[in-house]
Structure 1
Amino acid sequence: MLASSFTRLLAAAFVSAVFGAGADFDYYLLSLSYAPDFCAQPTGNKDPRECTSGRRLGFIVHGLWPQGESGRGPDRCGPGRPVSRSLVQLMLNYIPSESLIQHEWTNHGTCSGLSAADYFAAIRKTRDSVKIPDDLKQPAQQIQLRPSEIEEKFAAANPAFPREAFRVSCYRDGELQEARICFSKDLSPRACTVSAGACPARSVTILPAR
């Protein structure tokens, strides 16, 4: 029993040392915004890197958020120095908006317990581990699916993930907002909880890439 407890303490210390202690949170939520539907919304900051016609972007990283089991996680946990120019350039292939990169670090990264370099490395690692379903990568025409069907497509494309690791959120008009994928603090996939949200619409509109 003592050996088992000691082993668990060592494991916890290792995770804290490598991935950071940060504020009090339970897991990470990787948010993948669906660019065509975001860019079609009447409000919001539309960066031309994301919304200019011809970019043909599909799912792009919105952020990696410290999350609570039963509620929203912490945000804005420290002053946080601006993200360096070199790191911004590295991340533009994942988050095609410099202002959003800075925003995500200030609002969420500062709560992770990680340095900016390690936080954005965690974003790259989690995003690279997720396969977008083939028919949702760059659809050529509008698609209508139930939220559960989208989640099932992600689960089928990522068989190593728990089926419950995927959630869908939508805008009020029923257009697809985000795919959300849940990860433990050590960045292994895990089931989401109610705090990850859900889309209440019966049918979700997925606009074609443009």
Structure 2
Amino acid sequence: MRFDRLVLCLLVAGAPLGIAPAEAQVRGKTTALLAVSWQPAFCETRPDKPECRSQTADRFDASHFTLHGLWPMRSNYCGVSQADIEADKAGKWTSLPSVELAPETKAALDRVMPGTQSALERHEWIKHGTCTGQSQQDYFADALALMDELNASPVASLFARNVGQVVTAAAVQNAFDESFGKDASRRVKMRCERDGDRRIITELTIGLGATAAKAPLATRIQAAGGTKFDCDEGVVDGVGLQ
């Protein structure tokens, strides 16, 4: 097709130049990512982690999404000492400064982020939280509130009732749209990894846009820009399944 005819087709379709029509349906700007893990799959690939050695089939993270992190876009290590940056990059998370939280917030974080057993919260704060302009308490409380909404949604129900089964991209996308509004799924990326002869779903990253403070998850998703969903299907792993 000649270039001038292609331009005309894009304009007629309402798509900005350089953007595929499907992607052009999503407006907004992604300012942060909510990264969530499906913990049994994470532990299948990293069984030596403390939180994986202690995982049981009746623990919260066996049947709910867990918090990996809340990441502001294109900003890392804000106002952090070089020594802490080097320790973080070397994976020496237990040597990083401790995170100070209200007791109820710490208890909730330990439940929803089992990686606190590996000092994941120290890494997340040093690398990402320092760039949000929030206090440690507000940063983790914000992430926990978003996780509560996600884990109360049809997306979480879809995963919980399909443990051991293959879930398709279409099913996950439909659940996101049902949960968080039309085209919410266009702000989500699904990551899968090989585990022997299986492909297991390990993580979702959910785009968030700039909104009023403490806006609902649906509002923040709808304010984000689009992304490619990526993995077309994968197994929802269960504790001990291979």
Provide TM-score, normalisation by structure 1: 0.69
SS at match of 1:77: coil
Q: Which residue of 1 aligns with 2:202?
A: 177
What do you get for the CA RMSD once the two structures are aligned? 3.0
* Cα distance in 1, alignment partners of residues 70 and 54 from structure 2: 18
Q: Which residue of 1 aligns with 2:7?
A: none
Q: Which residue of 2 aligns with 1:189?
A: 221
SS at match of 2:126: helix
CA pair 140-105 structure 1, distance change in 2 beyond 3 A? same
For 1:64-79, what aligned pairs fall within 5 Å after superposition? Answer: 64-67=70-73, 73-79=74-80
Q: Which residue of 2 aligns with 1:159?
A: 181
More helix by share: 2
Amino acid of the structure 2 residue aligned with 1:88: K
For 1:6-25, what aligned pairs fall within 5 Å after superposition? Answer: none
Q: Check conservation: 1:83, 1:102, Cα contact below 8 A.
A: yes
The Cα shift of 1:150 comes to 1.6
Q: Which residue of 2 aligns with 1:58?
A: 64
Q: Which residue of 1 aligns with 2:171?
A: 149
For 1:199-210, what aligned pairs fall within 5 Å after superposition? Answer: 199-200=230-231, 202-208=232-238
SS at match of 1:183: strand
The Cα shift of 1:185 comes to 2.9
* Identical amino acids, percent of aligned pairs: 24
* Cα distance in 1, alignment partners of residues 191 and 208 from structure 2: 17
Q: Check conservation: 1:57, 1:209, Cα contact below 8 A.
A: no
Q: Check conservation: 1:38, 1:177, Cα contact below 8 A.
A: yes
For 1:93-172, what aligned pairs fall within 5 Å after superposition? Answer: 93-98=111-116, 99-130=119-150, 131-133=153-155, 135-139=157-161, 141-159=163-181, 162-172=184-194
CA pair 93-54 structure 1, distance change in 2 beyond 3 A? closer
Q: Which residue of 1 aligns with 2:84?
A: none
SS at match of 1:207: coil
The Cα shift of 1:63 comes to 0.8
SS at match of 1:171: strand
Aligned residues: 178
Structure 1 gaps, min length 5: 1-24, 68-72
CA pair 163-90 structure 1, distance change in 2 beyond 3 A? closer
The Cα shift of 1:129 comes to 2.8
The Cα shift of 1:207 comes to 1.5
* Cα distance in 2, alignment partners of residues 149 and 209 from structure 1: 22
* Cα distance in 1, alignment partners of residues 40 and 32 from structure 2: 25
The Cα shift of 1:96 comes to 1.9
Per-residue deviation, residues 153-186 of structure 1 (Å, max 9, x unmatched): 2222333773423321112442101122222233
* Cα distance in 2, alignment partners of residues 204 and 49 from structure 1: 24
Amino acid of the structure 2 residue aligned with 1:113: G
Amino acid of the structure 2 residue aligned with 1:101: E
Structure 2 gaps, min length 5: 1-28, 82-96
CA pair 121-160 structure 1, distance change in 2 beyond 3 A? farther
* Cα distance in 1, alignment partners of residues 156 and 226 from structure 2: 26
Q: Which residue of 2 aligns with 1:4?
A: none
1:37 aligns with 2:41: yes
* Cα distance in 2, alignment partners of residues 149 and 162 from structure 1: 13
